[in-house]
């Protein structure tokens, strides 16, 4: 486990005041000025968000129906009416005749909260009925509430863009993606991705025997080097090897490209369907970013030591927001650990 690099004076100033921001089941400690860029969050399906109330939601539903029928004349809409809760709308449909033959009925549930509308997708899975999915959509819709950008809920569930979905279930697929933007260092991007059930289609024994080492970050780097040989891109390695983040025993590769871009990655290969140890979990940081293009800025705004120190500081603040089954003490922000009782003198 590498020793963290000390923060430079200007980075110490940056981290004098910090805050906690949440995404998916996770939370991260960041400087007060930081902004969280929420990426795609699936729980178990992707939740889409757009501006506008229930009337706009109905209009969007009609637009999607028209598009489906234009793309395939055999598309069939079985329901397009009020949704399971107040200020909601629901559409159920077969995308084509082949989907109907397989009873692959899809659901879109539009839920309006103030000036925001959230779209929950779903479908009938093997062994389910339409009533099963109707009940599930009703439960998901009822669990959703608005959330301020800096609010960190204390109950189990998932943070999504502008909202929170309460849930103490852990048996379905979950994915979360987010980025951190630092106005003081606009050329730096830091991002996190998690996929709980990646590789779940592999037999468990096959996954452990054949895939775990192959999927590891250092294993992938070595594989690329062996395959590309002399054509493998030149790089200066600042640090590379095993790296634990909380209880996640992962690996990191911190390199500087020939143009001065810092290209940092951490990855953890967990266990499919284990919420405390997601199958695919990782973070990345780049410098010299401009207009969303890595390397487009004239130069990096930080030195090598500052880049590594910033990386260490941000990565160490990545935890679960609320304790999940199997998560050890110290790997979550809530509930806070109780201080040890002191004996009376």
Which tens digits make up the pLDDT trace of 169-220? 999 899 999 999 999 999 999 999 999 999 888 888 888 877 788 899 999 9
Cis ω before 44 (30° cut-off from 0): yes
Task: Locate all alpha helices (DSSP H) within the chain, ordered by sequence.
Answer: 9-14, 54-71, 97-101, 130-143, 204-206, 212-215, 217-228, 304-316
Closest CA to 115 of 62, 57, 61: 57
78 and 36, same structural domain?
A: no
DSSP states along 111-136: EEETTEEEEEEEEPPTT--HHHHHHH
134 and 101, same structural domain?
A: yes
58 and 14, same structural domain?
A: no
Range of the domain at 78: 48-146
225 domain-assigned: yes
Count of Cβ atoms closer than 10 Å to residue 76 Cβ: 16
59 and 39, same structural domain?
A: no
180 and 270, same structural domain?
A: yes
Using DSSP bridges, classify how beta strands 236-245 and 189-195 pair: parallel, antiparallel or unpaired: unpaired
Report the predicted TM-score, pTM, of the whole model to 2 decimal places: 0.91
64 and 16, same structural domain?
A: no
45: its two tokens: 């399906």
Closest CA to 320 of 330, 308, 310: 330
177 and 219, same structural domain?
A: yes
User: What is the rounded average pLDDT of the residues 292-321?
Assistant: 98
22 domain-assigned: yes
- C-beta of residue 156 within 8 angstroms of C-beta of residue 166: yes
307 and 204, same structural domain?
A: yes
230 and 113, same structural domain?
A: no
Percent of the chain at pLDDT > 70 equals 97
294 domain-assigned: yes
Contacts for 102-110: CB closer than 8 Å, 24+ residues apart: 105/78, 105/130, 105/133, 107/133, 107/134, 107/137, 108/61, 108/64, 109/83, 109/84, 109/137, 109/140, 109/141, 110/54, 110/57, 110/58, 110/60, 110/61, 110/83
286 and 189, same structural domain?
A: yes
341 domain-assigned: no
Cα separation of 62 and 159, whole Å? Answer: 29
The per-residue pLDDT for 44 is: 87
Cα separation of 163 and 151, whole Å? Answer: 9
Residues 6+ apart with CB under 8 A from 246: 318, 319, 328, 330, 331
308 and 204, same structural domain?
A: yes
333 domain-assigned: no
Backbone angles phi, psi at 204, to 5 degrees: -60, -40
297 and 200, same structural domain?
A: yes
- C-beta of residue 285 within 8 angstroms of C-beta of residue 314: yes
259: its two tokens: 């143009």
336 domain-assigned: no
Report the number of distinct structural domains present in the chain.
Answer: 2
Tell me, what CATH number does 277's domain have? 3.40.1000.10
305 domain-assigned: yes
Task: Return the top range by mean pLDDT from 40-49, 208-217, 302-311.
Answer: 302-311
The per-residue pLDDT for 338 is: 59
CA distances from 3 to 157, 248, 256, 303 (A): 34, 17, 19, 18
Cα separation of 31 and 15, whole Å? Answer: 5
199 domain-assigned: yes
Cα separation of 95 and 72, whole Å? Answer: 8
The per-residue pLDDT for 209 is: 77
The per-residue pLDDT for 279 is: 94
């Amino acid at each position: 486990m590498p020793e963290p690099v000390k923060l430079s004076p200007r980075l110490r100033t940056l981290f004098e005041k910090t805050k906690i921001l949440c995404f998916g089941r996770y939370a991260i400690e960041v400087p007060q000025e930081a902004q969280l860029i929420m990426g795609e969050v699936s729980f178990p399906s992707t939740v889409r968000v757009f501006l506008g109330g229930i009337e706009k939601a109905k209009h969007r539903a009609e637009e999607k129906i028209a598009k489906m029928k234009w793309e395939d004349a055999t598309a069939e809409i079985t329901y397009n009416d009020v949704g399971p809760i107040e200020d909601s709308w629901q559409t159920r449909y077969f995308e084509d005749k082949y989907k109907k033959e397989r009873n692959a009925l899809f659901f879109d549930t539009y839920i309006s909260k103030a000036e925001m509308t959230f779209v929950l997708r779903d479908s009938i899975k093997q062994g389910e009925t339409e009533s099963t999915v109707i009940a599930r959509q009703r439960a998901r819709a009822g669990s959703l509430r608005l959330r301020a950008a800096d609010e960190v809920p204390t109950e189990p569930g998932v943070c999504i863009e502008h909202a929170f979905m309460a849930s103490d279930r852990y048996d379905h697929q979950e994915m979360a993606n987010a980025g951190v933007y630092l106005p003081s260092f606009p050329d730096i991007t830091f991002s996190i991705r998690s996929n709980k059930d990646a590789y779940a289609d592999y037999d468990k024994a096959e996954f452990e025997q054949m895939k775990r080492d192959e999927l590891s970050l250092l294993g992938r780097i070595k594989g690329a080097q062996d395959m590309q040989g002399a054509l493998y891109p030149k790089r200066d390695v600042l640090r590379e090897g095993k790296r634990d983040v909380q209880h996640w025993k992962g690996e990191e590769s911190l390199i500087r490209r020939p143009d001065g871009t810092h290209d940092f990655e951490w990855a953890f290969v967990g266990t499919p369907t284990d919420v405390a140890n997601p199958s695919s979990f990782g973070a990345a940081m780049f410098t010299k970013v401009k207009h969303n293009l890595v390397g487009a800025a004239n130069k990096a705004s930080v030195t090598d030591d500052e880049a590594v120190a910033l990386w260490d500081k941000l990565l160490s603040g990545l935890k679960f927001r609320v304790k999940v089954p199997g998560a050890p003490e110290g790997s979550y922000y809530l509930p806070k650990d109780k201080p040890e009782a002191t004996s009376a003198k």
